[in-house]
Structure 1
Amino acid sequence: MQMDKQQTNNFTKGKFTWTIQNFSKLNSQNLHSEAFVVGGYPWRILLYPKGNDTDHLSLYLAAADTTSLAYDWSRNATFSLAVINHQDAKWTVKSETQHRFNSNVSDWGFTKFMPISAIEKGYLVNDMFIIVAEVSVLKSGNENQAAVDTSQKSGGQSRQTEVEPTQKEDQGQNENIAPPLSAQSSREPIEHIGDPSLPTELSSTPVAELMDFKNVGKIEKAFVPLLEEICSKHPSLIESQQKRTPQYSEWAFTALGRVLHFLNSKRVKDMNDEASDHLQILWDELETFKFDLIWLEPHVHSALGMKTYLEKAKQLKKLKEKEVALDMEIKRLTAKLAAAKTDFEITTRDLVQAQEGFEERDIDVILGYGRP
C-alpha cells in the first residue's frame, strides 16, 4: 500500500496504490482494499475481479465505515481509478468521475471498467495487479465523519452504480497490449444495483461533452446555455465563486446546472416519487455551495409540490371517471325502466281485452259425458 496526500483550503487530495498479489488465484466474487484516509474520511477500493454480472472487471470507490455516521451524512469527491499496465504506462486504463457520497449511495464507480480478457495483456505481471485511486475531497458543511487510522479495515455490503467511464485515449502498436478502452466504450444506461430509485442524472460525463464556462471550469454542454442565461440575470452567482478554487467552482456550477437542467427538461407529469426524490437530492447538494438562491427556491419548491398536485389530480380524475360511469349507468337503467313501463302498460291493456267475455272455470273438474 502507498498513500500520498496534498491539501488546500477547500479540498484535500490523496493518492492510494493497491497492489494485489496472486491475482489469478482470487476466488472471491469481490474484495476491497484496506481503508485509506483523504480529507479526514476513510475510503476503500472495491473490486470485482470476475465482473459484477458482466464480462468486464468492475471497480468502485466506496466510503468506508459508514455505519456510525448520522443518517444525513454526505461528502463530495472527485476521483479517478486506474489499472496500471506493467509493459507500457501509456496503456494504463484510467477512468475519472465525481460523486456526492451519502447514505443512499455510499459507493460509485465503473461496472464495465475494462474487459477481463485484456488483463493478461500487460496488466498482470508475476501475478501482480496494481490499482491506483486518486481522490479529491471537497470540504462542505454536511460531511459528518471523523477521521480514522488508515490501518482500519472496512466491512459491510455495498451498492454498486455503473457510470460511463471517461477513458484515457492513447495510441500504440504493441500487439501484446490491450487497445485503448475509449475506442471500445459506448454510452450505456445508468444501472442502479440494489436501489432502483436512485437518480440517473448524477453520472460521470465524458470529456467530449464538457466545455469551459466563464473560466470557472469544465461544465456539461447542456448546462452552459442555462448557466449563462441565469448568470446574466444574477451576476452574484459568479461573484460568489471568485475566491473559491477552480475545482470548488466547477462543482458548484455543475450542481447549479443540474438543477436548472432538471427544471428546464421535466414536465409536470414527470414529477413522480422518483423525480421528486431526485430533485430534492440535487437541491440539497446545490445548497451546500452557498449560492444566493432566493430567486430559484420558489421554482424548486413549486416543482417539488407537483408530486402532491399530481396525486390530487389523479384522485380527481378517478372521481370524474367514476361520476361519468355512474351517470351512464343511470341513463341506461332509466331507459330500461322506461321501456319496462311501456311494456307494462301494453301488457295491462292486452290483459283487460283478453278478460272480456272470459269465464273462469275450475280446470280440475272432470269433464263428464251427461251421466245423471
Structure 2
Amino acid sequence: MGNEVDYKKFTWVIKDFSSLQSTKIYSDEFVADGCKWRLLALPKGNDVEYLSLYLDVAGTEFLPDGWRRYVDYRFTLVNHLSEAHTVHKKGWRWFDKNTRFCGFRDMVPVSSLIAINGGFLLNGEITIIAEVGVLEVIDTLSASQVEEISTDRSEQRAHDDSSSSEDLQNKDDVTIEVNGFQVLVSQVDVVKTLFEKHPDLAQGFSLKNQHIKNAYMNALLDLIKTLCKAAKDLSVKDLKKADDTLSDLIKVGWNLEWLRMKLDQALEKQVEYDTRIRELEKQVKKRKLALEEIETDLEKEKAAASASLMSLD
C-alpha cells in the first residue's frame, strides 16, 4: 500500500450567485496540513464565459523565503438535481511565490450555472467542495534541509501507514513497486514497458518523497493516455494542456524528449486537421447559401411561369 494523504475537505456556499457584481471573490481561509488556503472564484470568468475557480495560498506575506507547497487538489461543483451532472476536476501543482494560485478557467459555463433548471443553483446559492492534500512543504532554500524534510516525512508516513486484509480486498487500491515508484496493479504493465523502452526515463528525477514521485508518475500516465486517444477525440486545447504537463515533467528531471517529439508532431497535425475542418465547414456554409439562393430563384421562376399561364387563360 502507498502512503495515505490526509485530504482536507472544505465546502464553500456562494449566496446570491446570479446577482453578484464582483468579478473576483474569495472564500474563508481553511487549513490543510498546517498550511492556510482559500478558494478564489471569478463568477464572470477569466476572459471566458465560464466560472473560473482556483486554489489560493493565503497569508503569503508571512511565509519565509523559498517557501513551496506541493499540492493535490480536487474541486466539485454540486448539481442538486443530478449527481451525473455534478462537475469534478482535479489537478496537482507546486505552489511558490511565482505560482500562488492554480485551478481552472473553465470550471463550468456561466449559462449552465444560472439556468433555472440547471441544478447548480439552489435558493440562489451554488455549492463548491474543495479537497486539498498537501504532499510536501518546503520553507527554506537549503538543499540539505529540503532533502532531510522530504526523507523524514516519507519515512514517518510509511511508519504510520497500516494495511489490513480489508485493504487488500479492493484490487484497485493495491500498489506495487516498479523502479522505485508505487503504481496500481492496473498500471504495472504500462510502467514496466515504459522503463524497458526508456531505461533513463527517470534518471534525472531525484525527489525522494514517495507521494510526489507517485503524483508525477500518474501525471505521465495520464499524459500518455491522452495522447493515445483518436484524433477526433482530441482538440488543440487538449494537446496544449498536455504540452504544459510535459514541460512540468521535463523541468523536474524526466527524460521525455521522445514524448516531446511525438507531442509536437501530434499538435502540428491537429492544428492542420482543425484548420482543414474549418475551411471545409466554411465551404459547406457557402454552398448551402448558394443552394438557398438557387432554390429562391427557382421558386421565383415557378411563380412567374404560373402567373404567365394564368394571364393566357
- TM-score, length basis structure 2: 0.49
Q: Considering fraction of residues, name the structure with more helix.
A: 2
Bigger-Rg structure (1/2): 1
